[in-house]
Structure 1
Amino acid sequence: MTGLDGLVDLDALTGWLHTEGLGSGPVLDATLLTGGTQNILVRFSIDDQVHVLRRPPRNPRPASWPTLLREARVLGVLTDQPVPSPAWHATCEDESVLGAPFFLMEAIDGFHAASGVPELYLERADLRHRMGLSAVEGIAALAALDYEDLGLADFGKPDGFPERQVGRWTRELESYADQDGYDPASFPDVSPISAWLEAGIPASFRPGIVHGDFHAANLLFSHTSGDVAAILDWEMATIGDPLLDLGWFVCTWPSDRAPAVSAAVGQLATAGGLATRAELIEHYAARSDRDVSNIDWYGVLACFKLGIVLEGSYARACAGKMDRGVGEFLRTMALALVEQAHLFMDEGVV
């Protein structure tokens, strides 16, 4: 077996590519990509065509395989749409090839802000300011798509989406008690946040495609323009309330009010000159017909949900199912998000 620390069998991959008519030569320049904390990404070329392979982690979660296939499906739908995302190339559902399903997508030329910021951006505040504005343009464009016309009518359960959120994620948090070595009592009591959210559920919403994990660390930016080159990591995508993406982005965007959360994109956060939360919300509103007046609720929900998601990674790290250092870092983010939820409840998002 050849591969990358046993993560991808390149001989098996080559055979599959040949069988599927996706190349006839050898797989070249296979490189494990960094930046994510869960799924495995490998960039490679075959017959001068460059692909990025995405597969579940070595120790997958119970939902890892179907979630990956959902991600491939939504990327396929978005390939020809005006939303910056990697073009889908192919999917393999046969787990016998690499031990798990996987898909291939376009390799995007861009930089990952969580890994470092180019010198040009450090020198020019206008480019840093443009980054956030371009990001909200991306989710505004996503929210404008007709998911039914795109064949995604069965991709989620939009009815009752806001009403289901607190119960769904409270149960998720409670499930972490099953992870060996994890102490549920070490996480703050989130019942005051739950009660606040339950009391303020929006009376109505218009369903659309939701990315589900929209923050700067899931974006690739152009090396020169400040624009988003691609939105990555669509594994939490669904059909629901697209305003949650806006709440998610403003609650994770670097801010003096949330230094611990801002640490996720360290160098970008310390450089300054970024669009403010108020500017992001105003920019989205100017490009969407959705009502953003209840953004405080979406911001609190985003903190609540993302905090619980990240705590799940920490619980898995306690059980030895992922890197402990990564788990500890994500735990710091989870605790900061709980604190920020209380701040938003008391003072508002902006």
Structure 2
Amino acid sequence: MTTTPAHIDVSAIDFDVLGVWMDAEGLPEGPFENARPVLGGTQNVMVAFERGGVPYVLRRPPLHVRAKSNEVLRREARVLAALEGTGVPAPRLVAAQTADEPVFYLMEPVDGFNATTGLPEPHASDPAMRQRMGLEAAVALAALGRVSPDVLPGFGRPEGFLERQVPRWTSELESYGRLEGYPGPEIPLLRETAEWLERNRPRAFTPGVMHGDYHVANLMFSHAGPWVAAIVDWEMCTIGDPLLDLGWLVATWPSSQLQVPGLPAAEELLDCYAELSERDLSSVDWYVVMACFKLGIVLEGTHARACAGKAPKDIGDLLHQTTLDLFARAQTWISR
């Protein structure tokens, strides 16, 4: 017999139905205990609980399902299953329900912390620990870059991946013009940056598994040391060029959410990655500039919506400034 904890929104999680499904999966039986929401930066619903003495985290789409919510979770579950045993630090998938909607899956809880919400001891008072944390972000990314794309057959579109990048994000930026009140992208050197990217695009790359949004806020670090306990939020995962993940890490480093002394410089991240990877980093500047270009355009979308009254003005202004900062950073890498 299952019980539904009173402090959890029963419209989000039907624990009786969940219990029947878990029984059919051969998972430990018993009442649900200590159910509580897991807070994070995603709109998906995450709930932690114990059953039969075993802890779990359930992830499902939001109550107001978006067009691709269920497909995103199907992809995530597939990715987590494929990564098991590869050496990549990621949440361990326990079981997934992907045939019906809403799609959901169970994973083991991660024993770790998000550095953007604060540092525990000994990390907070040990400069050497913080230095190594930054390098371990590159170590975990290098491990992902070594995974064969064969673990995810038919996943993504690696053919023409790099060729699609500038047109894809230029088109995204142009689409904001349909929002009434948006004056257009007032971004210095926007066209010049796009042209530089097209002229200097790497001619070839080795396809691999990409996280797609690799930055410090999507990492959980071990309480026991500087290591990455898990890379989380695999919504953007695809088969593409893993060096764009490296560019993304450098473009967002150090994160404005993680302004603590003792972190390694971006060049140290690159050196660490290079020592652990056989990938050709001779065009790494291109990947950093491409990451700045893409992320800047993504953030400009919120500014455009704010101009149209569809997002808070202060958030729109803040993200527009972040876009300007990213394009300025791109120029620094172009001129290196």
Measured against the shorter chain, the TM-score band is 0.7 to 0.9
Q: Does the 8 A contact of 2:182 with 2:308 survive in 1? A: no
Code of the aligned partner of 2:111: D
**Which residue of the partner structure matches residue 145 of structure 1?**
147
Following the alignment from structure 2 to structure 1, what is the Cα–Cα distance between the partners of residues 158 and 140? 21
Are residues 319 and 28 of structure 1, via their aligned partners in 2, closer, same or farther at CA, if it must alter by over 3 Å?
farther
Are residues 171 and 221 of structure 1, via their aligned partners in 2, closer, same or farther at CA, if it must alter by over 3 Å?
same
Code of the aligned partner of 2:187: P
Larger mean Cα displacement after TM superposition, 315-324 or 82-91: 315-324
Q: Does 1:166 align with 2:166?
A: yes
**Which residue of the partner structure matches residue 242 of structure 2?**
242
Q: Does the 8 A contact of 1:314 with 1:330 survive in 2? A: yes
SS in 2 for 1:119: coil
Q: What per-residue deviation string (whole Å, max 9, x for no partner) do you get for residues 47-87 of structure 1?
A: 11211122233444433321221111111011111111111
Are residues 132 and 82 of structure 1, via their aligned partners in 2, closer, same or farther at CA, if it must alter by over 3 Å?
same
Are residues 132 and 41 of structure 1, via their aligned partners in 2, closer, same or farther at CA, if it must alter by over 3 Å?
same
Q: What per-residue deviation string (whole Å, max 9, x for no partner) do you get for residues 92-117 of structure 1?
A: 22555xxx212211211011011111
Q: Does the 8 A contact of 2:182 with 2:305 survive in 1? A: no
Are residues 120 and 317 of structure 1, via their aligned partners in 2, closer, same or farther at CA, if it must alter by over 3 Å?
farther
Gap regions ≥5 residues in structure 1: 255-261
Following the alignment from structure 1 to structure 2, what is the Cα–Cα distance between the partners of residues 15 and 184? 54
Kindly state the Cα deviation for residue 125 of structure 1 after the two structures are TM-superposed: 0.6
Are residues 39 and 329 of structure 1, via their aligned partners in 2, closer, same or farther at CA, if it must alter by over 3 Å?
farther
**Which residue of the partner structure matches residue 294 of structure 1?**
283
Q: Does the 8 A contact of 1:131 with 1:227 survive in 2? A: yes
User: Which of 243, 247, 256 is matched with 1:263 structurally?
Assistant: 256
Q: Does 1:108 align with 2:107?
A: no
TM-score (norm 1): 0.83
Following the alignment from structure 1 to structure 2, what is the Cα–Cα distance between the partners of residues 333 and 128? 25
Code of the aligned partner of 2:207: P
User: Which of 122, 127, 145 is matched with 1:120 structurally?
Assistant: 122
Q: Does 1:78 align with 2:80?
A: no
Are residues 187 and 72 of structure 1, via their aligned partners in 2, closer, same or farther at CA, if it must alter by over 3 Å?
farther
User: Which of 261, 270, 284 is matched with 1:272 structurally?
Assistant: 261
SS in 2 for 1:52: strand
Aligned identity (percent) is: 47
Rg: which structure is higher? 2
Count the aligned residue pairs: 330
Following the alignment from structure 2 to structure 1, what is the Cα–Cα distance between the partners of residues 63 and 303? 16
Kindly state the Cα deviation for residue 326 of structure 1 after the two structures are TM-superposed: 7.2
Q: Does the 8 A contact of 2:77 with 2:105 survive in 1? A: yes
Q: Does 1:43 align with 2:48?
A: yes
Following the alignment from structure 2 to structure 1, what is the Cα–Cα distance between the partners of residues 38 and 201? 40
Kindly state the Cα deviation for residue 44 of structure 1 after the two structures are TM-superposed: 1.5
Following the alignment from structure 1 to structure 2, what is the Cα–Cα distance between the partners of residues 335 and 64? 31
- CA RMSD between the two structures: 2.9
**Which residue of the partner structure matches residue 294 of structure 2?**
305
Larger mean Cα displacement after TM superposition, 165-174 or 68-77: 165-174
Q: What per-residue deviation string (whole Å, max 9, x for no partner) do you get for residues 285-335 of structure 1?
A: 111111112111100111122233344466678889999987776565444
Kindly state the Cα deviation for residue 203 of structure 1 after the two structures are TM-superposed: 1.1
Kindly state the Cα deviation for residue 137 of structure 1 after the two structures are TM-superposed: 1.1
Gap regions ≥5 residues in structure 2: none
Code of the aligned partner of 2:173: L
SS in 1 for 2:256: helix
Following the alignment from structure 1 to structure 2, what is the Cα–Cα distance between the partners of residues 30 and 183? 44
Following the alignment from structure 1 to structure 2, what is the Cα–Cα distance between the partners of residues 342 and 272? 25
**Which residue of the partner structure matches residue 230 of structure 1?**
230
Q: Does the 8 A contact of 1:176 with 1:184 survive in 2? A: no
Q: Does 1:31 align with 2:36?
A: yes
Following the alignment from structure 1 to structure 2, what is the Cα–Cα distance between the partners of residues 300 and 83? 26
| Alignment of structure 1 residues 159-198 onto 2, 5 Å | 159-176=159-176, 183=182, 185=184, 188=187, 190-198=190-198
